[in-house]
Amino acid sequence: MIVPNPVNLNDNLIYTLNLSNSGSPAENVVVTDSLPAGADYLSSTVELAPPAGSPTCTFETNSRIVTCALGMMPPSGRATIGITTRPTVAGTLTNSARVEATPADPDTSNNSVTLNTLVSAAPPICGNSNCDTGEDAMNCPA
């Protein structure tokens, strides 16, 4: 899930990854999320249900990858990962994430996701000198 979508340039954009384990216990569960160029990483959160261990997320600046080590997920276990970013360019941002664990999941069809977000140039800020006169004034409320 992406909130909001579309998003304005320089507003916070949160990628939410919802995981569930409908099979046998999964160990060494790791989620990797490849953040798009044009989105600055701000923070990440992890919630596990039922709570277990101490999940961690790290961000590697050069590769732009968020890695979340969740540890073990029992059958019917759930995890929610929130990754907060800030778009720095207008256009379409493409974000991809995947999950891996041991033993390997026999059904890998639902282990990855790719989502697109439309980033719009921010609307003019009314009341400043750019909006008071000229073309930008048409975009400001009366």
Give the C-alpha separation, 122 to 49, whole Å: 37
What letter represents residue 116's amino acid?
A: N
Read off the tokens for 53: 């261990």
pLDDT at 2 > cutoff 50: yes
Q: What is the pLDDT of residue 132?
A: 47
Mean pLDDT of 102-107: 91
This prediction has a pTM of 0.83
Helix (H) or strand (E) holding 43: strand 39-49
pLDDT in tens, 10-64: 999 999 999 999 999 999 999 999 999 999 999 999 999 998 889 999 999 999 9
Place of tokens 């961690």: 56
Q: Are 84 and 21 in contact (CB under 8 A)?
A: no
Q: What is the pLDDT of residue 125?
A: 63
Give the C-alpha separation, 105 to 128, whole Å: 56
First to last CA, the chain: 35
Q: What is the pLDDT of residue 123?
A: 65
Query: Which among 15, 6, 91 is positioned nearest to 57, based on CA atoms?
Result: 15
- Residue 131 — φ and ψ, nearest 5°? -100, -15
